[in-house]
Amino acid sequence: MEPTPDTLNYMLAGYAIFSITFFGYLVNLYLRWQRLRQDEKDLQEQIAAQK
């Protein structure tokens, strides 16, 4: 019977790339939300000042 090959580094690389991509997308969603909330606030102030 052949010994089990050492492929641990590939597994770690796989889960590292998963984490970077997945959590990177979560951060991207959060930052877009925050930017839009700030835009919303600024525009509401601008509209209130125009009245």
Partner 1 sequence: MSSQPRVLQILNVVSALLLAIAAWMSLSYAPTERVMGAVQRVFYFHVATAWVGMLGFIVAAVAGVLYLVKADLKWDKVGLAAVEISLVFFFIAVVLGSIWARPIWGTWWTWEPRLTTAAILEMVYLAYLLLREGIEDPERRARFGAVYTLLGGISVPVTFVSIRLFRTIHPVVVMGGNPNAQGGFNMETSMLQAMLFSIFAFSVIFATLFWHRLRLGALAEKVEQLKLKALQ
Torsion (CA) 37, 38, 43, 45 in degrees, nearest 10: 110
Tokens of 5: 């090959």
Distance of closest approach, residue 9 Cβ to partner 1, in angstroms: 9
Radius of gyration of the chain (CA): 23
Tokens of 8: 């641990």
When asked if residue 33 is in the footprint of partner 1 (CB under 8 A), the reply is yes
When asked if residue 18 is in the footprint of partner 1 (CB under 8 A), the reply is yes
Contact positions toward partner 1, by CB under 8 A? Answer: 2, 4-8, 10-11, 13-15, 17-18, 21-22, 25, 29, 32-33, 36-37, 39-40, 43-44, 46-47, 50
